[in-house]
Structures are given as C-alpha cells and as structure tokens.
Structure 1
C-alpha cells in the first residue's frame, strides 16, 4: 500500500457531504482541499443510509467533467480510507485539473470497479453535491 501525495474526492468525503455534513474521523491529517475536476462517468448508488457516487474512467457515453476536490494526503491514514471505500473501488492515479491552475496533476482517486447495482443513476453534470441538491436526496452517512 503506497501513501499517496494527493487524493481526489468527488463524493461523500468532500467537505459538507456525508456524515451529516461533518468531518469523517478517519480523514484526520488530510490537508485542505481545492476545487478540481477529472474526466469520467459519474453514477449515484443507492444505499439504506443515503446515496454515494461511483466514478468510472471512460471517454464513452456518459463521460463528463467530474467535479470534486484535491487534497494533500501524506499524513492521512490511507488504510482507514481504503477500508471505508471498500471492495467496489480501486484507488488509482488519475489526471486531475485544477490543483495548480496549470493543467493536469496526478492524484489518487477511488474508481468504481464493480458492476453498477440496480437503481444506479447517471449524474449527467458530474457534480454529486449538486445532484443531491437538485434531487433532494441525502448523502451516504455511514
């Protein structure tokens, strides 16, 4: 398990989402974030305790600009974050735009690698927080 320099979050681990808008305890040590984007397809996954997103790296149908935040991650407990994300995601390096304002930066993100479950909904605008607001649904809270 390699400690990432940067993590890109696009879902419930963003500030103000999940855990009733509070901080996730396992993210202690995570650096401040900055708005960032990547390319892919974003889907909302239903769960009993709310909705969470799935990023699929693709340039095919449903591909869009996915909005999120990039964080300095050298002091976060990456094993705890990996455990939270679970088996349906793989942490991998992806190109991110927005960190330094000069183009692509590599960051690690949790990419969905399982089959999409029944009830998954595409998020056409690539913005999970906006999708929650527009649909009135609540974020996964653990």
Structure 2
C-alpha cells in the first residue's frame, strides 16, 4: 500500500540531488518544509555521508512529499531497497506550518557505525553545506 505522505530528511530530499531520488521525485508532489521529533546523525561512507534518524528529543528538519497518481508499488519497493536493512519505514508525525500530519519516514535501526556525527540542529543539508562534505551517491 502506498503511504499518503513521505518525510525525507537526507539523501532523498530534492535539494540533495541524488540520482535515484531525482527519478522518484518525478512521481511526488512538490515538498513542504516540516520537522519531526528525533535525533539526527550524519554517517560517513566511502561514497559520501548519509543521515540516520533515531527516536529521541530534538527536531529533524526535512520535506513532506505526497505521492502523485503515477507513484506505484515498484517505486516504493525501490525506495525500500535503496534504504536497505539499516532503515525501517515507519509512521511518524510531521509538523508543517499548517499543522501536524502523519507520514512515513525511514528510521535507523540498530547501533550507529563508528564515525557517526550528532547533528544537534537536525539538518542534514546544513551539515553538508557547513562541512563541505558530499552526500552519499551510492544506491
């Protein structure tokens, strides 16, 4: 079943410009800025950095996207494969300027790898901008 909305906070955000995300965004409505409760970490990888959302106190900034009619189960399955076993797609509450809505987000499962960096501001795009690091490009 296709979720009514997704909350992206990292490599799937349109501004990060990941090659696979560009394809999926053709089937998603334009995003709306929002935040979800949690703790955000930046995780290093030889192919670039990626974020990990964990439950906890704090705000994680991102974008809420609603699927268009052309978004299908094959796209959803491809997103799930891209995120892999380290993440689980779970329902969360996202706060928008217009109020709170339910969406699904990929939440980190298990222990964080060595070298993970806490992002106290909860903003992965800002981390990339201030650090000069590049976003994960694998897939």
RMSD: 1.7
Which sits farther off after the overlay, 71-80 or 46-55? Answer: 71-80
- Determine whether 1:29 maps to 2:23: no
Q: Is the 8 A contact 1:40 1:58 kept in 2?
A: yes
Shift of 1:31: 1.6
Q: What 5-or-longer segments of structure 1 have no aligned partner?
A: none
1:84 alignment partner in structure 2: 82
Q: Please list every run of at least 4 consecutive aligned residues from structure 1 whose deviation after the TM superposition is greater than 3 angstroms.
A: none
Out of 60, 64, 71, the position equivalent to 1:70 is 64
Structure 2's unaligned 5+ residue stretches are none
Where does residue 16 of structure 2 map in the other structure?
Answer: 17
Q: For residues 111 and 23 of structure 1, what CA distance do their matches in structure 2 show?
A: 17
Q: Say whether the 8 Å CA contact 1:36–1:70 is kept in structure 2.
A: yes
After TM superposition, the score normalised by the length of structure 1 is 0.87
Q: Paired residue for 1:109, among 93, 102, 105?
A: 105
TM-score when scaled to structure 2? 0.89
Task: Return the offset for 1:134.
Answer: 0.8
Matched, 1:38 2:14: no
